[in-house]
Structure 1
């Protein structure tokens, strides 16, 4: 085998290894997603993307990325609409390990990667008087969170988990990572974000008796 051929083969091998490694670290930055999920991040063991239970209201939604649109509207200066590619290209990307706790009694710890909801709101421009952010899903589901909660924390709209693109059953193209809130606040298949002044807005499960607050330090049946 010629020397040039050996060099090419070695280069291909190096590229393949680098592609599979988690190179992004903390904070923002473009990340190449690996062909297989990671199960450890910075020394912390991660759950598998298969450890979830399917409990959505209408089953997994299969959203076409090429026709997907995310709308940001309501009490904003500029109503925004983004394609999937525009969201991936336009905004900084962040990653963090967050545990989802379901009211059914199970939990999963996942490395989430996505864009910050606050960055979307900053671009749209939140009007005075707004206090609530409502998230709508492709299956008709909805839930809300206080605007202050979004602004005080790096709340993600995730497109990847454990370094692989979200599967359809996990919310592709985007799932809200509502850390420190019960799982029913983690809206999957997000298609619209509405900025509102209705602090009493109740989403799908909240209108059926679940807590509107959704905080983990309170019962999910607490009507507050």
Structure 2
């Protein structure tokens, strides 16, 4: 088994587990979503749709924050110019998306985006969505101290991007806001392209 096959296999297992967890609440039918969210039979469709958008924003912002944190490390430690350019692109694109999501959230819900991962009070689904993110300072330290930073960066960023793509794909099927639909498309297009770039680099640099 070569290195690329091993990495692809491990990524596939992780993504498969995460996808199974995510599909259950999100695609298990609107009634299942109502029950899990604590909605009763009098809850309106608009309330449910609005909650879906708010939860997506609450979960995607920290996911983007993790990617930016990794990108900052790459700008400091990466040896390949391609990785550094990718890091700059990630920082620019995802910082802009974070700012836009914060503006929408304030406009739609009348408050700032909460820190859903702080303390012990997590919002619905935050534990599941947190899978595929860097997770904590220990993971960042592992990446920072990796013997081959560029290789470790790709191995971390590909599944991280894949999680964002899956989240965006799920949003596309249920949001009723055109802004969120376009955001989901932008995330899918940009991060799928970046995944393909990283896969190509990994084959060129690390697969003998």
Same fold (TM over 0.5): no
Q: Judging by fraction of residues, say which structure has more strand.
A: 1
Q: Judging by fraction of residues, say which structure has more helix.
A: 2
Question: Normalising TM by the smaller chain, what interval?
Answer: under 0.3
Bigger Rg over Cα: 1
